[in-house]
């Protein structure tokens, strides 16, 4: 089918429709290519970087309070346009509208945090660091900063990055996912409406060519990336080799431990949302459930099967749908391939979501019902690899320590959680588990905007996590100034020893 609408770039405050290459953007609910997105070439990326570079001096000199006011105005505009933004998310990503609303809300919380810029950028001051000497540290912006984001949170993940970077005085070039770019672009347009000067935030759509152009551009000082681990590793290695400050957040395979003393009903309902919400396309989703003891496993499975039977799979725009389609046909095929792989590897497929028929009128959509495996083991690919679909695997363990050893041995360390009533077990778990974000009876322990988000091991390359205090650190450079104003009384000759306070 002929694509109807062309999605371009936002450079210097203008919509730009340059570039030879384009890619179809599908509505996953229908399987129809409703739009096409232009894929930026090197010249287009260079124009965006040039615009950001030109906007930097004036933006850097703009008082943080004025920068923060733009954020406050943007929050208001996003709330006013929330329905339109969420419709775009659902039309290109597939997630249900209520979930789109949830991601937008979490994104807005990052804007609220960024609007504290004057407080966040106060720095540190020491009077009389030496006789009549004052010393202070300033948090200065870096210059042009870039962000590269994944498909699964087209509103929220970009909002982890650019509001804080911009509030800190940087200018920004964002390269969103080419699979669902429209909500990201609309939010950027609203930022202009909120008073962001042209060039402070630019959006280039594209693929590897655009990303590589950003990584190789000497004017780009730092890059934030969120996406899959192989790409995160490539981005981090390439950017650091160019001397850039880098942070690259990667994939995940999060385990939930359920202890025999847990409230099974609460665990089941929490795990349903964590495993199948957004079709499992979340880096904090729970695709692995480690049940301690066979009785725990059996009780959980019974509860999960009952809840799965009630689930509605359908278009994200239908308020009755609990779960929408997967993002693309290619991804749909990949996830179904993992289900077949799990069967071939010897796991017990208790619920086969492949049997769920697409809703009437949506036969070409990328629907897959919830899948549930029992007897998953660490030797299996469905245990080791990130599936990013509605596939939950139950692993049986005999003790808390055995369950924790599994988690610690896994290559990813993004999120994890434990369900228990035992405070001592929970404390031991939170203290020693080798994972960056940990929940206790909380299945998706995504840190709030005034903490920071970051996994461990191969879930994060770099030293600093996203948003919150780590974000401020990432998007600023400390400069420490030591100052003395000589007066007649303190004039001295040259001092050749290392300065000290002795
Ligand atoms: P992806 O790695 O395919 O793409 C992410 C970004 O990288 C996109 O903008 C894409 O255009 C670009 N890209 C893709 N291939 C590239 C290449 N070869 N060279 C340069 N750039 C390239 O990820 P995705 O499928 O869009 O998103 C899902 C992944 O993101 C999952 O692995 C998920 O766990 C991860 N994720 C992680 C977090 C986190 O905070 N750790 C959050 C959300 C998503």
Q: How far is the CA of 150 from the centre of ligand 1 (A)?
A: 4
Residue 448 domain-assigned (yes or no): no
Q: Residue 490 has what pLDDT?
A: 57
pLDDT at 456: 98
Provide the pLDDT confidence category of residue 1 given band limits of 50, 70 and 90. very low
Same domain, 72 and 171: yes
Q: Report the pLDDT value the prediction gives residue 3, as an integer from 0 to 100.
A: 47
Write out pLDDT tens, residues 422-464. 999 999 999 999 999 999 999 999 999 999 999 999 999 999 9
Residue 365 has pLDDT above 70, yes or no: yes
What CATH number corresponds to the domain at position 389? Answer: 3.40.309.10
Quote the ligand 1 centre to 226 CA distance (angstroms): 6
- Residue 150 near ligand 1, beta carbon < 6 Å: yes
Instruction: Determine, yes or no, domain membership for 348.
Output: yes
Regarding whether 468 and 418 lie in a shared domain, the answer is no
The whole-number average pLDDT for the span 287-310 is 98
Domain boundary among 387, 408, 440: 440
Q: Are 199 and 246 in the same domain? A: yes
- CB of residue 254 inside a 6 A radius of ligand 1: no
* Joined tokens for residue 388: 């990013």
Answer yes or no: are the C-beta atoms of 94 and 327 closer than 8 Å.
yes
User: Domain for residue 115, yes or no?
Assistant: yes
If pLDDT is split at 50, 70 and 90, which confidence band does 501 have? low
Rounded to an integer, the average pLDDT of 394-415 is 98
Task: Examine residue 42 and state whether it is found in any structural domain, yes or no.
Answer: yes
Q: What percent of the chain has pLDDT over 70?
A: 98
For residues 276 and 413, state if they share a domain: yes
CA 238 – ligand 1 centroid, Å: 15
Q: So what's the pLDDT on residue 18?
A: 85
Spatial separation of the C-alpha atoms in residues 172 and 147, rounded to whole Å: 8
Asked if 468 and 432 sit in the same domain, the reply is no
d(CA 228, CA 492): 59
Among 23, 28, 148, 150, the mutation site with the greatest number of ligand 1 atoms within 8 A of its Cβ is 150
Residues 99 and 230 reside in one and the same domain = yes
Q: What is the pLDDT of residues 37-47, one digit of tens each?
A: 999 999 999 99
Give CA–CA dist 255/53, Å, rounded. Answer: 43
Ligand 1, atom 38, residue with closest C-alpha? 283
Do both 384 and 369 map to the same domain? yes
Closest C-alpha to 248, from 466, 26, 488: 466
Residue of 441, 64, 416, 433 lying closest to 255 (CA atoms)? 416
Task: Give 304 Cα–ligand 1 centroid separation in angstroms.
Answer: 30
Question: What gap in Å lies between CA 144 and CA 284, rounded to an integer?
Answer: 30
Active-site hit among 86, 168, 283, 371: 283
pLDDT tens across 210-229, in order? 999 999 999 999 999 999 99
Rounded to whole angstroms, the Cα distance separating 269 from 308 reads 10
The pLDDT of residue 412 is 98
CATH code, domain with 228: 3.40.605.10
Q: How confident is the model at residue 297 (pLDDT cuts 50, 70, 90)?
A: very high
Q: Please check whether residues 54 and 156 belong to one and the same domain.
A: yes
In a shared domain, residues 317 and 333:
yes
Are both 189 and 288 inside the same structural domain?
no
Q: What is the pLDDT of residues 145-172, one digit of tens each?
A: 999 999 999 999 999 999 999 999 999 9
pLDDT band of residue 49 (cuts 50, 70, 90) is very high
Give the residue-averaged pLDDT of 344-364. 96
Angle (CA) 206 187 50, round 5° = 50
Q: Does the beta carbon of 48 lie inside 6 Å of ligand 1? A: no
Are 294 and 335 in a shared domain? Answer: yes
**How much is the average pLDDT of 42-54?**
98
Structure tokens at 116: 């504290």
pLDDT at 492 (0 to 100): 66
Q: If you average pLDDT over every residue of the chain, what do you get?
A: 96
| pLDDT tier for residue 2 given thresholds of 50, 70 and 90 | very low
- Domain with 385, as residue range(s), is 255-440
Helix 64-80 to helix 97-114 angle, to the nearest 10 degrees?
Answer: 160
Active-site residue, 279 included: no
Polymer length of the chain: 502
Cβ-contact 374, 350 below 8 angstroms: yes
Are 148 and 262 contained in the same domain?
no
């Amino acid at each position: 089918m002929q694509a109807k609408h062309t999605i371009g770039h936002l450079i210097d405050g203008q919509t730009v429709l340059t570039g030879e290459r384009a890619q179809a953007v599908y509505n996953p609910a229908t399987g129809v290519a409703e739009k096409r997105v232009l894929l930026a070439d090197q010249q287009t990326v260079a124009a965006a970087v040039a615009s950001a570079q030109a906007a930097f001096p004036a933006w850097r000199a703009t008082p943080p309070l004025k920068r923060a006011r733009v954020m406050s105005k943007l929050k208001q505009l996003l709330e006013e346009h929330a329905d339109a933004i969420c419709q775009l998310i659902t039309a290109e990503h597939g997630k249900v509208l209520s979930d789109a609303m949830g991601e937008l809300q979490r994104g807005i919380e990052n804007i609220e945090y960024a609007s504290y810029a004057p407080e966040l950028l106060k720095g540190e001051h020491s009077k009389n660091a030496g006789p009549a000497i004052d010393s202070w540290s300033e948090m200065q912006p870096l210059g042009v900063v870039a962000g590269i984001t994944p498909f699964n949170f087209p509103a929220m993940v970009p909002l982890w990055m650019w509001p804080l970077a911009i509030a800190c005085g940087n200018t920004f070039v964002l390269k969103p996912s080419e699979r669902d770019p429209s909500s990201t672009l609309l939010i950027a347009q609203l930022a202009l409406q909120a008073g962001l000067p042209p060039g402070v935030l630019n959006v280039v759509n594209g693929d590897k060519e655009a990303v590589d152009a950003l990584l190789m551009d000497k004017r780009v000082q730092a890059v934030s990336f969120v996406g899959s681990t192989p790409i995160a590793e490539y981005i981090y290695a390439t950017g650091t080799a160019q001397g850039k400050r880098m942070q690259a957040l990667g994939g995940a395979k999060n385990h939930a431990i359920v202890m025999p003393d847990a409230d099974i009903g609460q665990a089941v309902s929490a795990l349903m949302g964590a495993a199948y919400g957004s079709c499992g396309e979340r880096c904090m989703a729970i695709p692995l459930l480690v049940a301690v003891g066979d009785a725990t496993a059996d009780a959980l499975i019974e509860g999960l099967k009952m809840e799965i039977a009630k689930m509605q799979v359908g278009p994200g725009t239908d308020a009755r749908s609990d779960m929408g389609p997967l993002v693309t046909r290619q991804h749909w095929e990949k996830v179904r391939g993992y289900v077949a792989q799990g069967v071939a590897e010897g796991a017990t497929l208790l619920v086969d979501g492949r049997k769920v028929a697409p809703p009437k009128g949506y036969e070409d959509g990328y629907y897959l019902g919830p899948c549930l495996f029992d007897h998953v083991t660490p030797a299996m690919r469905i245990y080791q690899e990130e599936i990013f679909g509605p596939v939950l695997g139950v692993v049986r363990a005999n003790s808390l320590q055995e369950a924790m050893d599994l988690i610690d041995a896994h290559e990813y360390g993004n999120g994890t959680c434990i369900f228990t009533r035992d405070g001592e077990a929970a404390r031991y778990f939170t203290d020693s588990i080798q994972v960056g974000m940990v929940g206790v009876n909380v299945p998706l322990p995504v840190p709030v905007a005034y903490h920071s988000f970051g996994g461990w091991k191969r879930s994060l390359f770099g030293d600093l996590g996203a948003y919150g205090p780590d974000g401020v650190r990432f998007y600023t450079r400390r400069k420490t100034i030591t100052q003395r104003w000589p007066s007649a009384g303190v004039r001295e000759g040259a001092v050749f020893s290392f300065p000290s306070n002795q």
